[in-house]
Every structure is written in structure tokens, then in C-alpha cells.
Amino acid sequence: MSIATIFEIVLAAVVLGLGIWTIVVRETYSATVGFVAYGLLVALIWVRLDAIDVALTEAAIGGGLGGVLLLGAAAQLRDSEPAVTDAAGNAVRVCAAILSALTAATLAGAVLVLPDPAPTLAPAAVSNAWATSLANPVTNVLMAFRAMDTMLEKVVLLLAIIGVWSLAPDSAWGGHPGPRHQADPHGVLVFLARLLPPIGIVVGIYVLWTGANHPGGAFQGGAILAAMWLLAIMAGLADTPPVSSRRLRLILVAGPGLFLVVGIAGLLFGSAFLSYPPAQAKPLILAIEVAMILTIAATLGLLLAGAPERRTGQ
Amino acid sequence: MSLLGDIITIVAVSAGAFFFLAGTVGLLRFPDTLTRLHALTKADNLGLGLVVLGLLPQAASLRDGFKLVSIWLLGLLAGATVSQLIARAARQGESAR
Amino acid sequence: MALKAASRAAWFLCLWLVLAGADPADIPAAAAAIAAATWTSLRLLEPSTARRSVRAIGQLVLLFLYHSVVAGTDVARRALDPRLPLRPGFVAYPTRLSSGIRRNVFTTLTSLLPGTVPTGEENGQLVYHCLDVEQPVVAELAAEEAALVRALYND
Amino acid sequence: MSGVTVFGLCAAAAVGLGLYGLITNPQPLRKIIAFNLLGSGVFLLFGVIGRRGAAAGMGNDPVPQALVITGVVVAFSATALAIALVLRLFQTTGSTTLSNAAPSGTGSNPSGD
């Protein structure tokens, strides 16, 4: 047994242990902390699986922003905890345990009898890379070969933000999402929020730019930019824009909008919906990615801020 | 040259791992939040610094070396500021009790 | 002001070069990143007017590295000692640095000093939590403050 | 047994754990966490299958990778929406349970606006 395999077994065991902890621990807050640690270690598993693009996404969005979201909610709901008494009965527990064990066993069996050699689309993705002149095959799949998925996913982001906003009480509609944060102006949080965002902006734009040829892209870069924005908001140095702001709405639809325009142009002048002419593929994809990173950063940040709570001008 | 580099790597990374281990022992043994913070910030920053120092001889280029050093600097900044935030919350929690 | 902006932009250019390397094809992205970062940086953090001394900054860095090693060794020794030699407590340190960024820089630096963690301010004094209150903490903090003032805030 | 298989089994167990938590935990927030655990197990299965399909100089098949990246973002949006719903429920009724007794019991325990 090699050292690598021992490391992998230990990693898998720790991840599973954290998974069990998040399910069985009594306090919801502890469960969320466990889930954040779980997400970061799962990112390590993705590194071991040689999927660096996914590892970056998982660490930034799954572990990082998702963790902030869950921790914030758990902190707000902390007081409601003792009121909950209607835990599942023993019969339900036993049935759920049997069902879950069966599901897990079936999946484990499926993993063990996967065909050898495994089917793969990697050669097809690599041999068609000339069509876009991007060297990162994952970006090629995201932006060209399965561009439809990526475009629809932007629409899902939009729908989610509309859903969150529509939960606002009538009196707050059109106002700023989330509470106005106020921190000690001489405190350390404000200090960090003054120092870090410029560095994060350089790193975020670099991650977007390098995504053409190396692991990275609009999702990972957008998550970094969103995190910097949120840091400034939490330190009280910036405020969320009111949801009635036209500029904000323009940014939110920029990504999917440009994607759609390019797609329809492909339908009219090219061979199919979302087909890029190979000569212009790279600049077109870059333009879409720039629009997308703005949309992604704004949407992720606003999803974390939550529903509008305050009227404009209050 | 490469032998010297490898020796530096082995010594420094082992020392870094030792400080991480000591920091974790402190995290488990120290009595309260504030003393545990000492264990984490001090020992882990030194541990990370030593690991970075140990990896420098293995860096393929000067740029990779700078990347490693900037990881250490960002880690320092994060550790030093977040530890102060936790410490303030812990002290206020203590005096409120 | 323009000089300050240029010096900040130079820092971000260095960061970009470390991340991406020097490639002419990167120029549009690098320009966008540096412009956005410089603008944000000037908005968030006003340029300081104090004189800086390169030599004193070098001394501060060396002092900092030395303290990091001492601090890490000190904590490791205490953590691994079976008797767990701790005498924790709070120490107030009256600083002459002005409130705000300068104090923040100071507390961030001193959070790496052996045996101290800054825990905020009370009545204008910085409150430090110490692993061992019998160590000469206040004297060490004063030495660190003097080094910081010589390096960055000599006005 | 190779490392890839170990992660495959880990992913299968995560799906089972998530399913169990989703059914048995009464609090909506815990259900959301359990659902995310389930989802991350499914994503990991994709990753394991993509790793086995490593070819053409790539360590992992890019197609499942791209699908998982899309999936992670969609899961995040769904989580954000679900959490917003739970918080709104808590604000209006003062309770975070979805039990049958909630509609009649809410009047006695209003703490939100």
C-alpha cells in the first residue's frame, strides 16, 4: 500500500467523520461549522481526483460562501432551537436508516463494478479544442461544448435572486437587501476590509483570465470578487445597492443576456444556437466570461445578503 | 546544490510539521479560548512559514518562490486579524458572564 | 496623490507578475485588474503622509521574523510541557499611536509577539491577553512600537 | 483498492448520510445541510467516474467536471433560496418547524414582525 493511498483513506475517513458529525450533532450551529470543514476537505478530495477547476469552485462556493450563508442563518435561528421537540420517532429513524444504507450500498456496489476501461469524453474534448483556441478543456466544455448548461445556470442564478427578493415584506420592496452592517470604525475587521479587497480583485481577475488556459474561470473568480464585496459590506464600508437600482439589474442580466445574444447570433449567422465561428470563438467567449463574472459576483453577494429589509433612504 | 536544497526542505518542512503538531496539542490542552488562540496563531504561523521556507528550494522558478511567500504573507494577515476578532469576542463574552 | 496612486499600482503590478508572469498577451487583463485594484485601494485606504525609512523597515522585518520564531517556540514548549506552565491574564498597554489604521497595524504585528494576543481597546488602552503575565510584556510592546514608528510612521 | 475507489465509497456513504439526515432531522436548516451533503456525495461520484475516464493527457474527464461546476453553483443558489424561505418563515411565525401543528400553534408564539 503506497503512502498516497494511506493519505487518501485517512482523508476519506475524516470527510466521512465530519459528514456524520454534521448529521448527528445536537446544535445546529455546530452542524454548520462541521459542514464548512467538510466542504473544505471535499475540495482536497477534488484535488486528489485531478479536478482542480472543481476543487477551486468547491472551496470558494461550496465551502466558503455556502459556509457563510449557513453560519449566518444558524446564528439567526439560534434562539428558536429549544422550541423544536418534534424529533422523528424510532420507527421513522429505523426506516430512514435502512433506506439510506440501501441507497449507499447500491451506489457503493455501482462504484465497485464500474466498467473497465471507463468510457470517457476527454479525447473528444481535447481533439476539438482547436475550435476555440482555449487550452483549458474544462472551460471549453463549459463555454462551448455544453454552453447551453452554463447559460441556463446563469438563468437559475437570476431566478434564485428573484425568489429571494420576492420574500421581502411589502414595505421593504425596492430597498436594500440585508441589514446595514456597522462595525467599530477603528476595529480590526474594518482594517482587514480596507487592506484585502484590492488584493482580492487582482487575484479574482487573474483567476478569470487564466481560466482560458489553466484551472480557473468566471465562477471561481466571481466567488472571490463576491467575497471581497461582502467583506466590505460586513465592515460597513459599503452598502448593498437597493434592488430597484437600474444599474444593478443591468449587471444581473449582463451575463445571461450577452450569452443569449451570442447564442441567437449563432443561430442566425452560424450553424446552430450558441455556435461560435471558430475565428472569433476566443474573443466571444472572453466577452461572455467578463459579463458573467460581473453577474456571478453580484448574484453571489446578493444571495448572501438576503431579502430586502430596508426602504431606500432609511 | 540539489542535495543541499533537499536537506533544507526536509529539515524545514519537518520543523514546520512539528510546530503545527505542537499548536494542535496546545489547542487541545490549553484551558480556554484565549489561551488556545495563542497556540493556534503563534505555532501555526511559524509552522506555515517553515513549510514555505522548506518548499522554496523546490520551486521551479523565482516566480513560484514569490507565490509561496505571498501565500505565507496572506496566511499571516488572515491569522493575525481573525485571531484579534475572536479574542475580542471572547473577552467580551468573558466579561459579560 | 498621483505619485501615491502610481506606487500602489506598482504593488499590484508586482502581484500580477507573481501570479501570471510576464506575457504580452495578458496586458488587457492586467491593466483592468491593476486599475480596479488601485481605484478600490485608494477609496478604501487613504494614503499615509508619514515618511518611511527603508532601513528601519528592514529592521522591523527582521525583528518580526525573530519574534515569530521565539513566539512559536515558546508556545510549543508550553503546549508540550507536561506541567502546562501557564499564568494567563490581561495586561493593558497605553499606546501613543493614533486610533485607527496605525493601531491596527501595531496590534496585527504584535499578535505575533511571544505570549500576547490583542483583544481590543478599553479606555484608550490596548488590552492584551498574555500566556504568562510575569514576562516583561509591556517593555517588549514598547520596543516593538518604537521600531514600527521608526519604520513607517516617522512624522 | 485504489484511491479513486476509496473516494467512490466515501461519496456513496455521503449520499446515504445526507438522505438519512434529510428524513430524520426535524429542523429545516438541518434538512438543508443534509441535502447539501447528499448533493456533494453525488458530485463526488461524478468526479470519481471522471477520474476513471482520465485520457488524452487529462487527469479527469472534463465533461463531468464542467457538469459538477455548474451543479455546485446551482446547489448554492437553491440553498440560498431555501435559507431565505426559512428565515422568512421564522420572521413571520417565530417558529422554524414544518410540523402539522404549526398552523394552529403559530398564533400563540409570534415573535417576528
**ipTM, 2 dp:** 0.85
Which residue shows C-alpha cell 422568512?
A: D88
Number of structural domains found in chain B: 1
Specify the higher pLDDT residue, D87 or A125: D87
Q: Is the pLDDT of residue A239 over 60?
A: yes
Query: What is the mean pLDDT of the segment spanning C122-131?
Result: 82
Residue percentage of chain B with pLDDT more than 70: 96
- Give the pLDDT score at D98: 65
Interatomic CA distance for residues A118 and D49, integer angstroms: 8
Q: Is the pLDDT of residue D100 over 60?
A: no
Query: What is the mean pLDDT of the segment spanning C62-71?
Result: 86
Residue in D with minimal Cα distance to A38 = D37
- Give the pLDDT score at D111: 40
Interatomic CA distance for residues A46 and A53, integer angstroms: 9
**Domain ranges across chain D:** 3-96
Residue A98 CA, chain-centre distance (Å), reads 32
Interface contact A12-D15, CB threshold 8 A: no
Q: Do residues A38 and A19 make contact, with C-beta atoms less than 8 angstroms apart? A: yes
Burial state string for A254-283 with b = 16 or more CB within 10 A and e = fewer than 16: bbbebbbebbebbeeeeeebbbbeeeebee
Q: Do residues B81 and C105 make contact, with C-beta atoms less than 8 angstroms apart? A: no
Confidence of residue D106 (pLDDT cuts 50, 70, 90): very low
pLDDT digits (tens, 9 = 90+) for C4-57: 888 888 888 988 888 888 888 888 888 888 989 888 888 888 777 666 778 888
Confidence of residue B61 (pLDDT cuts 50, 70, 90): confident
Q: Is the pLDDT of residue A142 over 50?
A: yes
- Give the pLDDT score at A160: 92
Specify the higher pLDDT residue, A159 or B32: A159
Interface contact A206-C19, CB threshold 8 A: yes
Chains that touch C (3 or more CB pairs under 8 A): A, B
Q: Is the pLDDT of residue A86 over 80?
A: no
Lowest mean pLDDT segment, chosen from A82-86, A275-279, A286-290, C58-62: A82-86
Query: What is the mean pLDDT of the segment spanning A241-263?
Result: 87
- Give the pLDDT score at D16: 93
Interface contact A188-B81, CB threshold 8 A: yes
Is residue B14 within 8 angstroms of chain C, CB to CB? no
Lowest mean pLDDT segment, chosen from A214-228, A243-257, C123-137: C123-137
Specify the higher pLDDT residue, D5 or A133: D5
The sign one gets for the Cα dihedral A277, A278, A284, A285 is positive
H or E segment to which residue C154 belongs: none
**Residue D16 amino acid letter:** G
Is residue C48 within 8 angstroms of chain B, CB to CB? no
Interatomic CA distance for residues B21 and A114, integer angstroms: 40
Range of the domain at B74: 2-96
Interatomic CA distance for residues A260 and A254, integer angstroms: 10
Instruction: List the grid coordinates of D44.
Output: 463526488
Residue in C with minimal Cα distance to A194 = C44
CA distance B80 to chain C (A): 5
- What residues of chain A lie within 8 A of the CB of D57, using their CB? 126
- Give the pLDDT score at A15: 92
Interface contact B77-A189, CB threshold 8 A: no
Q: Is the pLDDT of residue C99 over 70?
A: yes
Which of D113, C6, D63 minimizes the C-alpha distance to A170? D113
- What residues of chain B lie within 8 A of the CB of A189, using their CB? 81, 85
Confidence of residue A72 (pLDDT cuts 50, 70, 90): confident
Interface contact B23-C73, CB threshold 8 A: no
Confidence of residue C65 (pLDDT cuts 50, 70, 90): confident
- Give the pLDDT score at D102: 45
Chains that touch B (3 or more CB pairs under 8 A): A, C
- Give the pLDDT score at B17: 92
- Give the pLDDT score at A87: 66
- Give the pLDDT score at A1: 56
Q: Kindly report the average pLDDT of chain D as a whole number.
A: 80
Q: Is the pLDDT of residue D104 over 80?
A: no
Residue in B with minimal Cα distance to A200 = B74
Pairs of residues, one from chain A and one from chain C, whose beta carbons lie less than 8 Å apart: 64
Q: What is the dihedral of CA C49, C53, C59, C65, to 10 degrees?
A: 40
Q: Is the pLDDT of residue A303 over 80?
A: yes
Please tell me what DSSP assigns to residue C81.
Answer: -
The CATH number of D3-96 is 1.10.287.3510
Confidence of residue C3 (pLDDT cuts 50, 70, 90): confident
Interface contact B84-C69, CB threshold 8 A: no
Q: Kindly report the average pLDDT of chain B as a whole number.
A: 86
Q: Which of D19, D34, D55 sits opposite A123 (nearest CB)?
A: D55
Q: Is the pLDDT of residue A314 over 60?
A: no
Which residues make Cβ contacts (< 8 Å) with residue B79, sequence separation at least 6? Answer: B40, B41, B44, B45
Residue percentage of chain A with pLDDT more than 90: 17
Residue in B with minimal Cα distance to A188 = B81
Pairs of residues, one from chain A and one from chain D, whose beta carbons lie less than 8 Å apart: 297
- Give the pLDDT score at D39: 92
Q: Is the pLDDT of residue A82 over 60?
A: no
Which residue shows C-alpha cell 496605525?
A: C102
- Give the pLDDT score at D1: 56
Burial state string for C72-108 with b = 16 or more CB within 10 A and e = fewer than 16: bbbbbebbeeeeeebebeebebebebeeebbbbbbbb
Confidence of residue B63 (pLDDT cuts 50, 70, 90): confident
Q: Which of A54, A80, A167 sits opposite D84 (nearest CB)?
A: A167
Of the spans A180-194, A218-232, A280-294, which averages the highest pLDDT?
A218-232
